[in-house]
Chains A and B, each alone.
Chain A
Amino acid sequence: MKKTAALSQQKQIAGELDRRVAQRTIELGDAHEELGKNIVERGLMEEKLRQEEQELKQSEARKAAILESALDCIVTIDHEGCITEFNPAAEHTFGYRRVDVMGRHLADIMIPPALREKHRQGFARYLATGEARVLGKRIEMTAVRADGSEFPVELAITRIPLDGPPSFTGYLRDITERKRAEQALRRSEAFLAEGQHLGQIGSYSWRVATDEITWSAELYRIYEIEIGVPVTLELIRSRVHPEDVTLIEKMKMVEQSREGGHNFEWQYRLRMPDHSIKYMHAVAHSTRDQDGQLEYIASVQDVTARRLAEEARDKARSELTHVARVMSLGTLTASIAHEVNQPLSGIVTNASTCLRMLAADPPNVEGARETARRTIRDGNRASEVITRLRALYGKKDPTIESVDLNEATREVIALSWNDLQRNRVIVQQELADGLPLIAGDRVQLQQVILNLIRNASDAMSTVDDRSRQLLVRTEADEDGHVRLSVKDAGVAFAPQSADRLFESFYTTKNDGVGIGLSVSRSIIENHHGRLWATLNDGPGATFSFCIPCGSELATDADDNRDLAPDVTDAA
């Protein structure tokens, strides 16, 4: 029994053993297979690792290349603020070598002393609370170079996304040049604005296709419209004087014709809400913008003050003209008295002689008759003198007639003869034969001639070392002008004052007022002529004027200024 039990147990054990061997064999087989798999996997892993390592290397190289060649400064710091990277651009900008700054605190290297404490606080706050004021934003601040000089930088800071203690990369750019350019631009703009303001010149652009109008600040001021209000043609129209509005339409017509490259210049008036009038002078130039669209660039000047001054000047000049006449009359009184006295003296003597002849025994009747005839002749002469004077000084509106300049000149010379002789002036006349007639106001022209002759005479009043020669010449030049020149041997004028001679109240005479030449020029210009002065080769000066043959006198239809130069209406 016991043996059976032992056999059975033995058999059982053997069976168990076999089963376990079999199982183990299976297990080993599995394990072997697994092992094989593992070996393959491991190979793959190793391959992958190698690849990753390669990629990492490449990435590092790329990063190095980026750091190396980046135009911006790239600086990285660790969580304590110590520098862990400093690229060549940073070296160049800050003036440090990389090796010298690695591991040093950022604040000591790049931040101006005044800002260091603030930087430290911000950094500490971030580390403690995670609150960042500067991360991920473009900020501008001041940095400091190795040599201590400060300069503006633009920078962006990012946190490097890694586990563990934070580290940061900063990208910095030196913006000194940009700041300077910005400042220059601001200055230039301020300049332009101030210039426009001072000159009361506004400018605008007008894109015709879209009616997009841009005004300068000064133009807003001139139009008295609040700056920034959108400008429309309607708005402009509401300001432009109703009589000048048609101009806008005309301009639009031209715009619509779409022809480029035009220049316009025009004058117009504004009527302000308080009904005051402003005078504008505008110049516009058409161009094509980038899209080929027509665009007008215009500048508009407020010429109101100038216009008012011109009007005042014209008025003053016409008053001056009258004063000039009256004054000439005053200074010529002695000469006039003399003119009339000559024939009067002859009359008195003749009449006395006549009486003596008749009283003789026997009476000398034939002699008396002769003296009576001469008395009549002298009476007529006196009368002619009076007539001439009345023509010259009478207040008469300008009358256009055909004027023989020679005849007019002879009369003036005759009238000033004694004046000239008293001043020991030797008058030569070279009056051209067959001089064409000119249309003009004879009296006014004679005033000019008289003025030139008297000036010439005055210019020679102190000349004693040479003869006081005065040459009055008339001639017709080729281009249809009649010219008169008065040449003296006097003290002349300084070459640099040649332009000023014709200004009102400019005089080189001690007792002169300085209106003669300015009035003379007005008169000649009214005759479409020109009056000018030249210095002689020898002593003295020559004053000349020329007037086109057959010219019509410029007329002022709207007022009674008889001598003021014509001012065309700017409207």
Chain B
Amino acid sequence: MLQVTPIVFVVDDDVSVRESLELLIRCQSWQPEIFASAQEFLKYPRVLVPNCLVLDVSLPGLNGLDLQRIVAGERTDMPIIFITGHGDVPMTVQAMKAGAVEFLTKPFNDDVLLTAIRAALERSRTALGLEAEMRVLRDCYASLSQRERQVMALVVSGLLNKQVGGELGISEITVKAHRGKVMQKMKANSLADLVKMAARLRPAPAAITAA
């Protein structure tokens, strides 16, 4: 994998906070992207490099917690670090439950923030890696024909070729041929490999069939 520059997004309506973070982030050789509102931030296209979001809780219009909900749903590779001028306990709890990496009260120690950003970027990198694998897996699965998918589903559930043929009303020979295709298209080295892949694909079967 190429060495890419991680992006640190900052959303804070206060210019002092925003711009001071911009310099601090750049100083760490990350790419800062700063925004004064959640709406402005949401217009920025999705990135495929490790990234994280430093987010102020109090924002005009859509506030930080609202934005967190959107990000958690759409951008699983974007961990969030909250910053706030007045952290109250319920708000902190809500943010952490929703998956925030850290919740910092202004003014914060830069080391603490940088450590949090580093951890967030690492998490993002992992998420991106997993996502890339998943993407490959999904692409492979997408290349299967309808019959091949049926055969794969029955094979990974533990049926023998003969049984699969019985289920689908086709000959064992035909099942074998489909099975070979499946192994080839899925780039699976063994039946155990294929079973694992099927398990990983399972969490979002609806999305797969729709694709």
Contact = CB atoms under 8 A, between A and B. Distances in A.
Interface in B18-57: 19-21, 23-24, 26-27
Contacts of B60: 421, 426-427
Contacts of A486: none
B110 interface: yes
Contact of A421 (B24, B27, B58, B113): B58
Contact of B20 (A334, A371, A424): A371
A426 B106 contact: no
B57 to A, nearest CB: 8
Interface string A341-384: 11111111110110011001000100100110010011001000
Contact of B23 (A348, A353, A381): A353
A426 B59 CA distance: 10
Contact of B16 (A342, A352, A356, A418): A342
A466 to B, nearest CB: 13
A356 B27 CA distance: 8
Given A337-B86, A367-B23, A381-B16, A349 B61 contact: no
A344 B107 contact: yes
A381 B16 CA distance: 9
B110 to A, nearest CB: 4
Given A342-B17, A347-B107, A352 B24 contact: yes
A374 B17 contact: no
Interface residue tally on B, bucketed by range:
20 to 34
B144 to A, nearest CB: 46
Contacts of B83: 345
B20 A344 contact: no
Contacts of A352: 24, 109-110
B85 interface: yes
Contacts of A338: 58, 85-86
B58 to A, nearest CB: 5
Contacts of B86: 334, 337-338, 341, 422
B5 to A, nearest CB: 17
A220 B176 CA distance: 124
Contacts of B122: none
A381 B59 CA distance: 19
B19 A346 contact: yes
Given A337-B85, A346-B16, A424 B63 contact: yes
Nearest to A421: B58
Nearest to B23: A353
A345 B107 contact: yes
B14 A342 contact: yes
Contact of A344 (B15, B23, B58, B106): B106
A342 B36 CA distance: 14
B20 A345 contact: yes
B61 A426 contact: yes
Contacts of A422: 58, 63, 86
Interface string B98-111: 00000000111110
A346 B63 contact: no
A378 B106 contact: no
A109 to B, nearest CB: 98
Given A346-B17, A356-B27, A374-B19, A341 B58 contact: no
Contact of A345 (B16, B61, B63): B16
A422 B57 CA distance: 8
Contacts of B59: 421
Interface string B160-199: 0000000000000000000000000000000000000000
A305 B59 CA distance: 54
A346 B34 CA distance: 14
Contacts of A378: 16, 20
Contacts of B113: 349
Interface in B118-167: none
B45 to A, nearest CB: 26
Interface string A404-430: 000000000000001001101011000
Given A334-B86, A418-B85, A426-B60, A345 B24 contact: no
B54 to A, nearest CB: 11
A374 B13 CA distance: 16
23 contacts: A338-B85, A341-B107, A342-B106, A344-B106, A344-B107, A345-B106, A347-B16, A347-B20, A349-B17, A349-B24, A349-B107, A349-B108, A349-B110, A353-B110, A356-B110, A357-B27, A367-B23, A374-B20, A378-B20, A381-B16, A421-B58, A426-B60, A427-B60
Given A338-B58, A346-B16, A421-B13, 20 more contacts: A341-B86, A342-B16, A342-B85, A343-B16, A344-B106, A345-B106, A345-B108, A346-B20, A349-B108, A352-B24, A353-B24, A353-B27, A364-B27, A371-B20, A371-B23, A374-B16, A418-B58, A418-B85, A421-B59, A424-B63
